[in-house]
Amino acid sequence: MTDVPESKSRGWIWPVLVIALLGGQAVMLAVTFIIASSDPSVAVEPNYYEKALAWDEDRDRRRDPALDGFEISAELQPASDRNSKGALVVSVFRDGAPVEDAVIDAVIFHHARSGDRQTLSLLPQKPGVYVASADLRRDGNWEVRLSVQADRMSYLLTRQLELYGSAP
């Protein structure tokens, strides 16, 4: 018999390669999940299912207030400096006369950060004008959702407002 030198088997390389590729994929998946879930610009509408179920009930409140003689306008006033807050100002008039004793609640958010929502209760400043302070330190497009109750009428309004000139 001839002596043939034994070659070392390299069969272990293939299982290690498969395990390394699967491990690398798991690491990439984990990194992708962490990045995607920590992005503040991504948000899910809170209570969207309950809102969908209540759509028929809220439909009457979403009608145009002008049909009942109301004029409801909203305005964002920017913060004057970095240490102060801006303001949401809502004017409510009916047939040209200011409406007093209205109850106004609002949810506002910047479109770029729709997960950062602010819930506000507006207080009367003068007849027909209601104000609430808000953190408005970002220029751009804001969504303002108003719930207005005045003169035994109730309205749900959504306004898209632009804000420019906020403190840097």
> Hey, where are the domains in the chain?
9-38, 48-163
Q: What is the rounded end-to-end Cα distance, in angstroms, of the chain? A: 89
Instruction: List, in order, residues 6 or more apart from 2 with CB less than 8 Å away.
Output: none
Q: Which two tokens stand for residue 57?
A: 């009930």
Q: Please tell me the least confidently modeled range out of 11-15, 68-72, 104-108.
A: 11-15
Q: Which two tokens stand for residue 25?
A: 């994929």
Tens of pLDDT, residues 34-72: 988 887 777 788 888 998 998 888 888 888 999 999 999
Per CATH, the number for 48-163 is: 2.60.40.3340
Q: Which two tokens stand for residue 167?
A: 């403190």
Element (H, E) at 25: helix 13-37
Q: Which two tokens stand for residue 98?
A: 């200011």
